[in-house]
Amino acid sequence: MTTQTATAGLQEQGGTDFKKVGVWIASVGIWFLPLLWIDPTTYAVLTVAGLAMGMLIFLTASGLTLIFGLMDVLNLAHGAFFVWGAYVGFSLLNALQQVGWVEGAGAAQSIGSVLLCLLAALVVGGLMGIVLEKMLVRLTYGSHLKQILITMGASLILVEILKVVWSPNDEVVMVPAAFQGSWDIMDVIITKFRVVAIVVGLVVLGGIQLVMMRTKLGIIVRAGVENKEVVETLGYNIRRVFTGVFCAGAALAAVGGTMWSIFKEQIHPAMGEENLIFALIVVIIGGMGSVTGSFLGAIMVGLAFNYVAYTLPPLALGANIMIMAVILLIRPTGLMGKE
Amino acid sequence: MESKTMQPTPVQTERENLRRVRFTRPALWVQLVLLACLIAGPLVVPSFRAMDVMTKVMIFAVVAASYDLILGYTGILSLAHVTFFGIGAYSMALVVFHSGQAAWYHIPVAMALAVGISGILAVALAFFSLRVKAIFFTMMSLALAEFVFILGDQWHDLTMGEDGVSFSLPGIFSVNWSDGTFLGAALNGRLMTYYFILVASVLLFIGLVRFVRSPVGRVLKSVRDNEQRSTALGYKTFHYKVLSNVFGSVVASLAGVLFAMWLGYVNPTSVLGIPVMLNVLLMVIIGGMGTLYGSIMGAAFIQVAEAWLPDLQKLAMLLLPGVEMAQRLAERWILYFGILFILVVIFFPKGIVGTARDVIARRKLRLAQRDHQTGL
Q: Beta strands A266-267 and B178-182: pairing type?
A: unpaired
Q: What DSSP character marks residue A331?
A: -
Tell me the residue length of chain B.
376
**Test mutation, B135, B137, B274, B331, chain A, max A CBs within 10 A:** B135
- Are the CB atoms for B64 and B295 separated by under 8 Å? yes
pLDDT of residue B58: 92
Domains of chain B: 47-375 (1.10.3470)
Residue A1 scores a pLDDT above 50:
no
Measure CB to CB from residue B338 to each of A153, A283, A328 and give the nearest one: A153
Record: contact B332-A164, CB cut-off 8 A: yes
Residue-wise pLDDT tens digits, B202-236: 999 999 998 988 888 888 888 888 888 888 888 88
- Residue B337: its pLDDT value, please? 79
For the segment B98-104, the average pLDDT, to the nearest whole number, is 79
The fraction of chain B above a pLDDT of 70, given in percent, is 91
Is residue A302's pLDDT more than 60? yes
CB-CB neighbors (< 8 A) of A280 in chain B: 139, 142-143
Query: Looking at the predicted structure, is the pLDDT value of residue B12 above 50?
Result: yes
pLDDT at A131: 93
Of B13-27, B142-156, B240-254, the least confident: B13-27
pLDDT for B326 equals: 67
DSSP-derived pairing of the beta strands A182-185 and A188-191: antiparallel
Distance, in Å, from the CA atom of A157 to the CA atom of B340, rounded to the nearest integer, reads 10
Mean pLDDT for A79-92 is 92
Q: Which of A253, A299, A312, A316 is nearest to A48 (CA)?
A: A299
Q: Give the residues across from B165 on adjacent strands.
A: B266
pLDDT of B351 strictly over 80: yes
Is residue A39 domain-resident? Answer: yes
pLDDT band at B65 (very low <50, low <70, confident <90, very high): very high
Local confidence band at A10 (pLDDT 50, 70, 90 cut-offs): very low
Q: Could you tell me the pLDDT band of residue B57, with boundaries at 50, 70 and 90?
A: very high
Please report the pLDDT score of residue A16 as a whole number.
62
Beta-carbon separation of B345 and A280 below 8 A: no
Rounded Cα distance, A75 and A72, in Å: 9
Q: Is A333 helix (H, G, I), strand (E, B) or coil?
A: coil
Chain A residues whose beta carbon lies within 8 Å of the beta carbon of residue B238: 1
**Is the minimum CB–CB distance between B151 and chain A shorter than 8 Å?**
yes
Answer yes or no: are the C-beta atoms of A129 and A81 closer than 8 Å: yes
Q: Classify residue A100 by its DSSP letter.
A: T
Q: Residue A145 and residue B285: Cβ atoms within 8 Å?
A: no
Asked if the Cβ–Cβ distance from B142 to A277 is below 8 Å, we say yes
Confidence of residue A12 (pLDDT cuts 50, 70, 90): very low
Task: Identify from B137, B139, B157, B323 which residue to disrupt to test chain A contact, counting A C-beta atoms within 10 A and taking the largest count.
Answer: B139
SS3 breakdown of chain A: % helix, strand, coil, rounded to 5?
Answer: 80, 5, 15
- Considering the domain boundaries, does residue A336 fall inside one? no
Question: Inter-chain contact B338–A273, Cβ cutoff 8 Å?
Answer: no
Bridging pattern class, strands B185-188 and B178-182: antiparallel
- A319/B contact by beta carbon, under 8 A: no
Element housing A191 (H / E): strand A188-191
How high is the mean pLDDT of chain A? 83
Cβ <8 Å between B325 and A1: no
Closest-CA residue to B287 (of B88, B76, B57):
B57
As a whole number of angstroms, the distance between CA A288 and CA A292 comes to 10
Answer yes or no: is A1 within a domain: no
Verify whether the Cβ–Cβ distance A317 to B132 is below 8 Å.
no
A335 three-class SS: coil
CB-count burial class (<10 Å; 0-12, 13-18, 19+) for A235: exposed
Contact (CB, 8 A) for A212 and A218? yes
Average pLDDT in chain B:
83
pLDDT of residue A258: 92
Would you place residue A339 in the very low, low, confident or very high pLDDT band (cuts 50, 70, 90)? Answer: low
Compute the nearest-CA separation of B25 from chain A (Å).
33
For the entire predicted model, the pTM comes to 0.81
Higher pLDDT, B320 or B122: B122
- Residue A86 within a domain: yes
Q: How much is the pLDDT for B103? A: 78
A156 touches chain B (CB under 8 A): yes
Domain total of chain A: 1
Structural domain containing residue A45 = 26-330
- Within a domain: residue A2? no
Would you list the DSSP string of A30-47?
GGGGGGGTS-HHHHHHHH
Among A170-179, A207-216, B181-190, the range with the most confident prediction by mean pLDDT is A207-216
Mean predicted confidence (pLDDT) in A17-32: 73
Helix (H, G, I), strand (E, B) or coil at B321: coil
Report the alpha-carbon distance of residue A264 to residue A279 in Å, rounded: 17
Confidence (pLDDT) at A4: 44
Tell me if B132 and A74 make a contact (CB, 8 A cut-off).
no
Q: Name the β-bridge partners of A188.
A: A185
Residue pair B209/B28 in contact by the 8 Å Cβ criterion: no
B129 contacts in chain A (CB < 8 Å)? 328
What is the CA angle A271-A275-A276, rounded to 5?
115
| pLDDT band, residue B319 (cuts 50/70/90) | confident
What average pLDDT does range A309-314 have in this prediction?
Answer: 78
Burial of B228 (0-12, 13-18, 19+ CB in 10 A): exposed
Looking at per-residue pLDDT, the higher value among B187 and A72 belongs to A72
* Beta carbons of A328 and B143 less than 8 Å apart: no
Distance CA A213, CA B142 (A): 33
Return d(Cα A279, Cα A74) in angstroms, integer: 12
Question: Could you report the per-residue pLDDT of B68-96, keeping only the tens digit for each?
Answer: 999 888 888 888 899 999 999 999 988 88
C-alpha B168/C-alpha A304 separation (Å) is 41
In angstroms, rounded to a whole number, what is the distance separating the alpha carbons of residues A106 and A103? 9
Rounded distance between C-alpha atoms, residue A207 and residue B30, angstroms: 63
Comparing CB atoms, the residue among B131, B155, B281 nearest residue A332 is B131
Query: How far does the CA of residue A156 sit from the closest CA of chain B (Å)?
Result: 5
All residues of chain B having their beta carbon less than 8 Å from the beta carbon of residue A136 are: 342
Examine residue A295 and state whether it is found in any structural domain, yes or no: yes
A17 domain-assigned: no
CA distance between the termini of chain A: 15
pLDDT for B255: 94
Within a domain: residue A102? yes
| Residue B250 near residue B115, CB atoms below 8 Å | yes
| Mean pLDDT to the nearest integer, B104-128 | 90
pLDDT of residue A6: 43
Mean pLDDT lowest among A98-107, A283-292, B103-112: A98-107
Q: Does A163 touch chain B (CB under 8 A)?
A: yes
| Mean pLDDT value across residues A280-292 | 84
**Cβ–Cβ contact A322 with B under 8 A:** no
What are the angstrom distances between the C-alpha of B135 and each of A140, A333, B31, B118? 15, 12, 36, 21
Asked if A138 reaches chain B (Cβ–Cβ under 8 Å), the answer is: no
Task: Look at residue B201 in the predicted model and tell me its pLDDT.
Answer: 92
Q: Where are the beta strands (DSSP E) in chain B?
A: 165-166, 178-182, 185-188, 265-266
Which among B286, B52, B320, B335 is positioned nearest to B190, based on CA atoms? B52
**Which chain B residues are Cβ-neighbours of A152 within 8 angstroms?**
278, 281, 341
Is B132 in contact with A328 (Cβ distance < 8 A)?
yes
Task: Quick: pLDDT tens for A225-275.
Answer: 778 888 889 888 888 888 999 999 999 999 999 999 988 888 988 888 888
CATH number of the domain where residue A32 is located: 1.10.3470
Q: What are phi and psi of A269, to 5 degrees?
A: -60, -25
Residue B159: which pLDDT band, with cuts at 50, 70 and 90? Answer: confident
Enter the ipTM.
Answer: 0.75
pLDDT at A11: 44
Helix (H) or strand (E) holding B259: helix B237-263
Neighbouring residues of A274: CB distance < 8 A, sequence distance ≥ 6: A79, B146
- Pseudo-torsion of CA B20, B24, B29, B32, nearest 10°? 40
Nearest to B150 among A161, A317, A325 (CB): A317
Q: Tell me, yes or no, if B169 comes closer than 8 A to chain A by beta carbon.
A: no
Distance from CA of B206 to the nearest CA of A (A): 27
Residues A150-188 have pLDDT tens digits of 888 899 899 989 988 888 888 888 888 777 777 777 777
